[in-house]
Amino acid sequence: MLEKYLQVHPEVKKAIENGEAVVALESTIISHGMPYPKNVEMAKNVSKIIRENGAIPATIAIIDGVLKVGLTEEEIEFLGTSKDIVKASRRDLPFIISKKLNGATTVATTMILADLAGVKVFATGGIGGAHRGAQETFDISADLQELANTNVAVICAGAKSILDIGLTLEYLETNGVPVIGFGADEFPAFYTRKSGFGVDYRVDSSMEVATALKAKWDLNLKGGVVIGNPIPTEFEMDYDGITNAIETALKEARENNIAGKKVTPFLLDKVKTITAGKSLDSNIELVYNNAKVAAQIAKDLADINK
């Protein structure tokens, strides 16, 4: 039945069938997260980094209502240049399929489709989470529920620092989602290596992560794992500078009544403007770093399973 909806790229399909390392990649970062041509350039470089580290990249999106795991270069270019791409979360999938629309996958949807295809490791920039004031607004990303329910490990540079990181971690804890620091004792805050919040466990090697993932899923402990991989020191932004930029962007969002799925792209774009583009450069570098670590974890997991 799945074949009716799901199209896995031949290279990715072959790798999955042979038990080889595959890394899932989201597409919202291409369509909504960065301007053209930086977005397409970034996507191609991420794929290259994953291959250099022994895994096969599988960018995930919905093209003309077809769920795709693994895209061609033409499809990535299309996502990076087209203006009518829906930002697709769990609730949107049935309607994007029935209306034959084009959709870019968020963290939540990338996890769903990766899991359907049999891909267990996913690299992204940062996860969604509880927005500031979520205790009153209930503005909480669907990414967190997906992490509670779907067996995919997510390598990220923490939660986007525009969010309430403390509330996000509390939510993950309630849902039994392990939060790991890759070579770090603190959960990273996207543009900065530190957030002021600790992780559940620090791990210092990709093999250690892979061994824990195998144990978790062998025991049928449903759900994902958040692997917080801090941005490399040389690309980290000044903590006070980025905090001030975020506060300014949040104030503007409130004044303009920006809510729902429009919030994150608006805030990221504002922060980019305020920081004179430095935040975009940091964003790209942390994605590259996450792709490298994800490929190493996927390779170790594949080796253990063999």
- Residue 100: exposed, middle, or buried by beta-carbon count in 10 A (0-12, 13-18, 19+)? exposed
Q: Is 87 marked within a binding site?
A: yes
Distance, in Å, from the CA atom of 306 to the CA atom of 295, rounded to the nearest integer, reads 16
Beta strands 86-88 and 103-105 are: parallel
CB 182 within 8 A of CB 203: yes
Identity of the amino acid at 214: K
Q: Is 84 marked within a binding site?
A: no
CB 211 within 8 A of CB 304: yes
Q: Is 249 marked within a binding site?
A: no
Q: Is 164 marked within a binding site?
A: no
Active-site hit among 160, 270, 278, 299: 160
| Residue at token pair 């794992």 | 225
Q: Is 142 marked within a binding site?
A: yes
CA atoms within 13 A on the CB side of 292: 14
Q: Is 141 marked within a binding site?
A: yes
For the question of residue 262 being annotated catalytic, the response is: no
For the question of residue 222 being annotated catalytic, the response is: no
CA 80 vs CA 30, 44, 122, 155, 268: distances in Å: 5, 11, 20, 23, 17
Active-site hit among 26, 75, 77, 186: 26
Residues belonging to the binding site for Mn(2+) are 139
Residues belonging to the binding site are 87, 107, 139, 141-143
Q: Catalytic residue positions?
A: 26, 160
Residues belonging to the binding site for substrate are 87, 107, 141-143
